[in-house]
Chains A and B, each alone.
Chain A
Amino acid sequence: MAEDKVVQDETDESAAPEKHRHLEVEITNEDDGDVYKFSVKHDERLDSVIARLYADKLHREPVDDDRLRCEAGGEDVFTFASMTFKAYLDAGHCAALKWLFSGPTGGA
């Protein structure tokens, strides 16, 4: 029983300090419909996830007209790139952490 308890404690994230707990960010790529999920920590900055999005999923460099916005309400995410997730959520931004990515679009 004691062993069971130890294992349970190690996997119980509620027992960990908040800054070490993981959050999940879900990003839908509107250009092809793919959905990416990233595990992040409270004290991690948004721009670290944005960098992983480009490097690991999009396989390209950012360009000016890329858009990344909150699925609920459409608020721009890039604006807050230098914030930690804790600060971002504490300030009331995008509580569900579901974002939408789209690349540049031409038209007239």
Chain B
Amino acid sequence: MTGPARTDPEVAAITFRRDLDKFWDRGAAAERGWQRRTHDQLTELITLQGNDGTQVLPYYLRVRADWYPDFPPQITLLEPDWVTEPPERSTWLPTIQNPPFQFGLHHVYDYRNPDTQELIDKRQLICFSHSFDYYVSSHTPQSAERWEHPRHTVAATLNRLHQVLQPPCYTGPQSPREPQAEQA
């Protein structure tokens, strides 16, 4: 895939871990019922909670720091196996309506070479300016929106996701969730 050069892995890991730990140590993640697991130095697996006012359901977010802090983390919602990208209308994707900031969730998106328009990848896009994939999917932020570390950190990414997973934006999973599904 063409696009920005990856950050030196050691720099990315140190910066990402420092910022994520700072966010986590503030306590908001625990209050929200989130859990985290380190997959490798550049990858964190975070269980978020969607609350539509009637029930709370987990969503599984992979957070990659390959381009951090020059760019935001790359984030992907996954099925409980932490590998599979959910298809359209999956119970592992949230329904989000009328977010209070510009935001889009595309279960699959055509990533194209910006110069040739050649199709180079098809995968999920969580589209807002604190998500890496926004910057490699033909989107251009206004200057005030553009990611700028340390003014923005992984906290910005996770706090925006939390807000759209709360009422009134979040209205439940894209299809009903079977009780046994979360143990899959």
Contact = CB atoms under 8 A, between A and B. Distances in A.
Interface residues of A, number: 17
A63 B143 CA distance: 11
Tell me the interface secondary structure of chain A in the complex: loop
A63 B141 CA distance: 14
A30 B145 contact: no
B127 to A, nearest CB: 5
Interface in B26-49: 26, 28
Interface residues on B, range: 20 to 34
A56 interface: no
A67 B100 contact: yes
B156 A30 contact: yes
B142 A106 contact: yes
B22 interface: yes
A52 B99 CA distance: 28
B26 A102 contact: no
B156 A106 contact: no
Given A33-B22, A33-B23, A35-B26, A105 B102 contact: yes
Contacts, number: 78
B155 interface: yes
Given A33-B23, A102-B159, A103-B144, A108 B152 contact: no
Interface of A: 28, 30-33, 35, 63, 65, 67, 100, 102-108
30 contacts: A28-B28, A30-B159, A31-B151, A31-B152, A32-B19, A32-B150, A32-B152, A32-B156, A33-B19, A33-B22, A33-B23, A33-B26, A33-B153, A33-B155, A33-B159, A65-B144, A65-B145, A102-B101, A102-B160, A103-B144, A103-B151, A104-B144, A104-B145, A105-B101, A106-B102, A106-B141, A106-B142, A106-B146, A108-B127, A108-B139
Interface of B: 19, 22-23, 26, 28, 100-104, 127-131, 134, 139, 141-142, 144-146, 150-153, 155-156, 159-160
